[in-house]
A and B are shown apart, each in its own frame.
Chain A
Amino acid sequence: MKYGHRQGAFPLARTTGVLLVTVALLSAGIIGGRAQNSAAAKSRSDHSKSRLTEDQRVLHVLNRLGFGARPGDVAHVKAIGPDSYIEQQLHPEKINDAVAEAKVRDLATLKMTTAELYEKYPQPGQLLRQLERRGELPAELGATRRDRRSKDEAPASQPNAGAVMEMPATPPATPEVTKKKEQKASDTADPRDNQKYRQAIRQYYMENGLQPPQRISAELQASRILRAVYSERQLEEVMVDFWTNHFNVFAGKGADRWLLVSYDRDTIRPNAMGKFSDLLLATAESPAMLFYLDNFQSVSPTAQLGVGNRGQGGPLAQMLMGERIIARRQLRMTNNPEQQRPQQQARRGINENYARELMELHTLGVDGGYTQKDVQEVARCFTGWTIFAPRGAGAAAQAIMDGPRAERLRENAGRFFFNPRAHDDGEKVVLGQKIPAGGGMKDGLVVLDILAHHPATARFIATKLVRHFVADEAPAGLVDRVAAAFSKSDGDISATLRAIFFSPEFNSQQAYRAKVKRPFELTISAIRTLGGETNGGPQLHQWIARMGEPLYGFQTPNGYSDTAESWVNAGGLLERLNFGLMLASNRIPGTRVDLHQFLSSDGQAPDKIMERFLNLIVAGDIAPKTKEVLMKQLNEQTALIVPAMTRETLSTNQSLSGDEFETQRPQRQGQQPARAGATITDPVTKIVGLILGSPEFQRQ
């Protein structure tokens, strides 16, 4: 639900609401500054009258251009001035980022090609089938596999948990003889077999230097967390987050778990602050997007693929067609052709999914003036934009046995390529513009060019950026100016952002703390504000997921919402409060804060302690009543003794090494004891937990 729309739809309801509430509050005798508040809401459009104070502006800039201030950041930005800080952030390439790079250095997957990821992080089921085909399946592994019970094969019960949902289309070729026996074995299977099977797999992975595919997602998520916490190029990280949502891809869809590494590294990151047209092209060519929105299997109905093509359909052609087609062909050859044909026809053909989302979500916006006919035409333009061995080269490479060709196939698995044979080379008309026949891959490039430079795109991108950086209800005047800046700079993202950051709207009281942080923003800003350390591991990511925003875990192509109403709900709020408590009490393995460091200089007087943390976490700017509550809590607790945090408490924390990456299994729902909570033994931890959970810290 877009705010603009809602505002338009309920203008009466809104005004009446203001009146009703004011009346209700007056009669309830708890008026305070409420009337003044609704008055401020009414004059919301007049931004120039209420500029931020200099101190507020420093905080505002640190919160919006980045993931909040670390200790010392406020002083630094004050010293150089917010304007120069903004200019620096607009040019990330000039900022030294050695610290963050060192933090992600040990995440091996980040540097691997997709092909390497397929080889070293195979999906167990797929790997076993390959070994079986090659006759290399170790006897013991084969035996435990036959004995295992159903659960291992089952897809996870929760799609958002990031499980690989799509099971392979071709069933494994089990040895012929033992079928009846197998069935018996499975009937009476010992529940422990499940564990034995897992153990056998783990053993095989260990002996052969392999790792489970979940590790790929875990490392990618860790890299996003680490960079957000440690990078000096804060704005670039904010933009990576922004574009990752704008061009959303779900890790749980088939091969996307493997493809997302390259997506972050080669597609989003290098283009996050450059030209929008480059970014758009990069996403269009990215295997992750091609897979997620099905374009990789979009084939012209008149294409020369498949049936009747065996003459020239040697191994190379098969490689080019991707393993799915090979698998299908094998299926056809081994089964009754009569019954396979209908499915073939149903599967081959144009897929409009990418074409539609490209216009609706990536460029023009839903009201951007395109028609269903345009969707069809754009889909035709993108036929043949596909992926080389989209699910890894294993089966396909096996199909052509070993040798240089198999080698080539292995190396290129999971890469983009344009397959002219799948392309519809006829004439198309897109948004009234004729695209002549015979253009080949150029057709898609022309479409991207039309879309990137369309005025509706400028408006759509400007609206989303203003909503992200200024307020949920993007001020219309600012959107106009930002869209103009976008068009004038040929879609230069830096130039567009500059138009926002130096606008009166951005620098107004109305924008100050106007945005509710999303869970990722809350998590990172909490660690940063306490000067914490983290390895970004799954135990931390799990909290982001619990609050509702697992990275790469959004199923549908629209990406996570950027407005408060999606994030302010009972379940999410409770998890936010619990997260703050867990962080403050050092109960999140792999993440650690040292509250002690903030206490050393001015002793332990309760009011001093509180002031200190209020200044640190919310810049001292908090409701007076909240202060009162905190003070009461602090006094109440000091009476209960228990010394403040010591070094020992910190050292009980798990090491920050990568161990816990291994032990993560997707959590099962239900039948579990209540989750362990934070242990709050001292007043300082409690106060910090409460401030992190305050409404003020939920906002930025």
Chain B
Amino acid sequence: MNRRFFIRSGGVALASFGLMSATPSFLQRVVLGQTREGSAGGRRKTLIAIFQRGAVDGLNMVVPHGERAYYDLRPSIAVARPQPGNDESALDLDGFFGLHPSLRSFKPLWDSKRLAIVHAAGSPDNTRSHFDAQDYMESATPGVKSTADGWLNRYLQSKPDRERSLFRAVSLTQTMPRVLQGKAPTLAISNLADFNIRAGQSSASVQGGFEAIYGQAVNDVLAGTGKETFEAVNYLKKVNPAQYQPENGAQYPRTPFGNSLLQIAQLIKAGVGLEIAFTDVGGWDTHVNEGNARGQLGNLLQQFSNGIAALYTDLGRRMDDVVILTMSEFGRTARENGNLGTDHGHANAMFVLGNSVRGGKVYGQWPGLKSEQLYEGRDLALTTDFRDVFGEIAGRHLGTSNLQSVFPGYASSAAKFRGFLE
């Protein structure tokens, strides 16, 4: 028996008063909550976190074209300085930085100040192991492996959800990522269409059986969960994920990543109380033949940015309450290697998007790429700890008042925020 059992059973009991028996009880809470919060002036905020697994080459993603050393270090794979009319050159942002040309769909968002960049950000730990660095980025405790939960889960714990939405935190992945693991309830669904009872033609009848079985045993934590699970299943059915039509002419890439983003949009529009959405996209470990304006990295970036831009378009005004954050475990060597690629490095670039973002600016201090400025003689040095980026989002966007519990062992404070959020 634990506390959650009682809370959950309480919820079930409330529903059985029959006050609002037509709608699922967790949705009642969400709807009630939104009304309540709405009258108090606040609305539910959502964070969409996207992990670029494999360590994206931040120096070719957000190109320091104003830095001569960049071109010296990368004779074959550098992205050319911005040149009007040359669509294989960097897209200038501020005279010093430019976007990789495959990020073209980000440019309008930059111009309308909805896209901010934090450069030279990452983990202060110097590990160059994908495994360890992803672990640290997700636990947000660099150097400490025994941390049991991920920082997004600790955020959920730090701010109790009055509505206890079943869809408060959803990972569009097959297994629960480290960043969402922990004692706050979360869901991992790789495909919304799978979130049901799958028994062919008898699905409805079998589900009816389960609902009846789980519906009656209120004294059991399993039964409580069962009841709420079926409420969620039935609600999703009404939402009908298979028939989804993106709005505003948004076109998602027909890739697993594009599909994950599309499903996140569905959940947000369904009003199920989504607060944290997570997904990831791999393929960034470009040791060989990385390419410059075109090639491996370019192809990946195109899919990446087109997906995010489609999500932005699709969500329209809803982006007032949504922030999209991208991250990758570490950057890559400043110097290209002998195989026209790059090896594991250190600091990296992160994108932050949303209508509440103070965009059109590259945040953070630029450490430079001259030999003596490089970290350990080879990598982009770090000037922003990723916990300051995460902290700003957890504090200013999601509104936790307890940053200490989200980032244990770190003196998180607004003074360290970069200021990309109002």
Could you tell me which A residues sit within 8 Å of B by CB distance? Answer: 1, 3, 6, 10, 13-14, 17-18, 20-21, 24-25, 27-28, 30, 33-34, 37, 41, 149-151, 153-161, 165-167, 169, 171-174, 179, 182-183, 186-187, 252-254, 293, 338-343, 346, 353, 356-357, 360-361, 473, 516, 545-546, 548, 550, 553, 555-558, 564-566, 568-571, 573-574, 577-578, 581, 585, 623, 625-626, 629-630, 632-633, 636-637, 667-681, 686, 689-690, 693-695, 698-699
Q: A667-B174, A677-B200 known; A571 and B187 CB under 8 Å?
A: yes
Given contacts A10-B3, A158-B174, A675-B198, contact A353 B145 (CB under 8 A): yes
Cross-chain contact of B176 among A516, A548, A669, A681 (Cβ < 8 A): A548
Nearest first, the 10 closest Cβ-Cβ pairs linking A and B are A677-B198, A17-B6, A157-B282, A670-B256, A154-B283, A670-B259, A24-B13, A160-B175, A674-B193, A150-B296
Contacting pair B296 A18 (CB below 8 A) = no
12 sampled A-B residue pairs with Cβ under 8 A:
A25-B13, A30-B218, A171-B338, A179-B340, A186-B295, A581-B198, A625-B216, A671-B258, A675-B191, A677-B198, A680-B206, A689-B206
Cβ–Cβ contact A166 & B129, under 8 A: yes
Contact A155 B2 (CB under 8 A): no
The reply to whether the CB of B239 lies closer than 8 angstroms to some CB of chain A is no
Knowing A573-B226, A574-B195 are in contact, say whether A37-B219 is a contact too (CB < 8 A).
yes
Interchain nearest-CB distance for B235 vs A (Å): 12
Contact residues in A for B161 (Cβ distance below 8 Å): none
With both chains docked as a complex, state the minimum distance between the C-beta of A250 and any C-beta of chain B, in angstroms.
Answer: 8
Residues of A within 8 A of B258 (CB): 670-671
Further contacts, 9 of them, CB under 8 A, given A17-B7, A155-B130, A155-B282: A154-B285, A183-B76, A342-B376, A357-B145, A626-B216, A670-B190, A675-B191, A680-B201, A695-B220
Q: Which listed segment binds A: B37-45, B111-119, B286-294?
A: B286-294
Query: Given that A21-B9, A28-B17, A625-B217 are contacting pairs, would A680 and B202 also be in contact in the complex, using a CB cutoff of 8 Å?
Result: yes
Please tell me if B313 contacts chain A, counting CB pairs below 8 Å. no
Question: Please, which residues of chain B bring their CB within 8 A of the CB of A160?
Answer: 174-177
Q: Are A186 and B216 in contact (CB under 8 A)?
A: no
Contact B76 A568 (CB under 8 A): no
> Which residue of the partner chain A has the closest CB to B185?
A569
The answer on a CB contact under 8 Å between B2 and A3 is yes
A629 contact from B130, B166, B213, B256, Cβ within 8 A: B213
B295: contacting residue among A20, A187, A339, A626, CB under 8 A: A187
| Inter-chain contacts of B186 with A (CB < 8 A) | 569
| Distance between B315 CB and nearest chain A CB, rounded to angstroms | 18
Query: In the bound complex, what is the Cα–Cα distance between A157 and B206 (angstroms)?
Result: 34
Which residues of B are found within 8 Å of A21, using beta-carbon distances?
Answer: 6, 9-10, 13
B269 is an interface residue with CB less than 8 A from chain A: no
Contact B218 A573 (CB under 8 A): no
Q: How far is the CA of A523 from the CA of B263 in the complex (A)?
A: 30
Bound: A545/B174 CA distance, A: 9
Asked if residues B76 and A159 are in contact (CB atoms below 8 Å), the reply is no
Chain A hits for B1, CB < 8 A: 14, 41, 473
Which residues of A sit under 8 angstroms from B242, Cβ to Cβ?
Answer: 674
* B213, A626: Cβ atoms closer than 8 Å: yes
Contact string against A for B residues 276-314, beta-carbon threshold 8 Å, 1 for contact and 0 otherwise: 000011111111110100111001100000000000000
Closest to B294 in A: A187
Contact between B260 and A669 (Cβ–Cβ < 8 Å)? yes
Question: Counting CB contacts under 8 A, is B54 at the interface?
Answer: yes
CB neighbours (8 Å) of B210 from chain A are: 577, 690, 693
Please judge, given known A-B contacts A34-B219, A573-B226, A693-B210, whether A686 and B287 are in contact too, CB under 8 Å: no
In whole Å, how far is B18's beta carbon from the nearest beta carbon of chain A?
9
CB of B173 closer than 8 Å to a CB of A: yes
Known: A1-B183, A171-B343, A356-B146. A564 touches B221 (CB 8 A): yes
When chains A and B are docked, how far (Å) is the Cα of A172 from the Cα of B126? Answer: 23
Asked if B53 lies at the interface with its beta carbon under 8 angstroms from chain A, I say yes
**Contacting pair A558 B146 (CB below 8 A):** yes
**Residues of the B chain whose Cβ atoms lie less than 8 Å from the Cβ of A166:** 129-131
**B interface residue count range (under 10 / 10 to 19 / 20 to 34 / 35 or more):** 35 or more
Pairwise interchain contact B174-A34, C-beta atoms closer than 8 A: no
Tell me the B158-216 residues at the A interface (CB within 8 Å).
166, 172-178, 183, 185-191, 193-203, 205-206, 208-210, 212-214, 216
Most interface-central of B287, B289, B341 (chain A CB within 10 A)? B289
Flag if B377 contacts A690 (CB, 8 Å): no
Fill in one digit per residue for B8-32: 1 if any A CB lies within 8 Å of its CB, else 0. Answer: 0110011011000000000000000
A343 touches B213 (CB 8 A): no
Query: Which of A158, A171, A568 meets B177, CB within 8 Å?
Result: A158
Question: Residues of B with Cβ closer than 8 Å to A?
Answer: 1-7, 9-10, 13-14, 16-17, 53-54, 76, 126, 128-131, 134-135, 145-148, 166, 172-178, 183, 185-191, 193-203, 205-206, 208-210, 212-214, 216-223, 225-226, 228-229, 232-233, 242, 254-260, 263, 280-289, 291, 294-296, 299-300, 337-341, 343-344, 371, 376-378
Interface hub of A33, A179, A293, A674 (most chain B Cβ within 10 A) = A674
Task: Check B176–A668 contact: CB distance below 8 A.
Answer: no
Given A21-B9, A558-B148, A674-B191; A570-B288 close (CB under 8 Å): no
Among B213, B254, B291, the one with the most A-chain Cβ atoms within 10 Å of its Cβ is: B213
State in angstroms the CA–CA spacing of A574 and B300 once bound together.
34
Closest residue of chain A to B148 (Cβ to Cβ) is: A558
Minimum Cβ distance to chain A for residue B302 (Å)? 12
Q: Does A161 contact B175, Cβ atoms closer than 8 Å?
A: yes
Residues of A within 8 A of B216 (CB): 623, 625-626, 629
Using Cβ atoms and an 8 Å threshold, which residues of chain B touch A33? 219
Chain A neighbourhood of B194, CB < 8 A:
674-675
Q: A156 CA to B177 CA in the complex, in Å?
A: 13
Q: Would A694 and B213 count as touching, CB distance under 8 A? A: yes
Contact A636 B189 (CB under 8 A): no
Q: With A and B bound together, what is the CA distance between A681 and B299 in angstroms?
A: 47
Chain B residue contacts of A564, Cβ below 8 A: 221
Which partner residue on chain B sits nearest A679 by CB separation? B200
> How many angstroms between the C-alpha atoms of A112 and B125 in the bound complex?
37
The docked-state distance in angstroms from the alpha carbon of A14 to that of B196 is 33
In the complex, chain A residues whose CB is within 8 Å of the CB of B260: 669-670
A254 to B127, CA, bound (A): 14
Which residue in chain B gives the minimum CB-CB distance to A18?
A: B6
Q: Which residue from B206, B220, B232, B233 sits with its C-beta under 8 Å from A686? A: B206
The reply to whether B295 and A677 form a contact with Cβ atoms under 8 Å apart is: no
A30 contacts which chain B residues (CB < 8 A)? 13, 16, 218
> Which A residues lie within 8 Å of B300 (CB)?
150
Q: How far apart are A477's CB and chain B's nearest CB, in angstroms?
A: 18
Please tell me if the beta carbons of A690 and B206 are within 8 angstroms of each other in the complex: yes
Report which of A151, A340, A632, A674 forms a contact with B198, defined as CB distance below 8 A: A674
Task: Report yes or no: B256 in contact with A668, Cβ–Cβ below 8 A.
Answer: yes
- Looking at the assembled complex, report how far the CB atom of A69 sits from the nearest CB atom of chain B, in whole angstroms: 21
Given contacts A578-B198, A686-B202, A695-B217, contact A155 B54 (CB under 8 A): yes
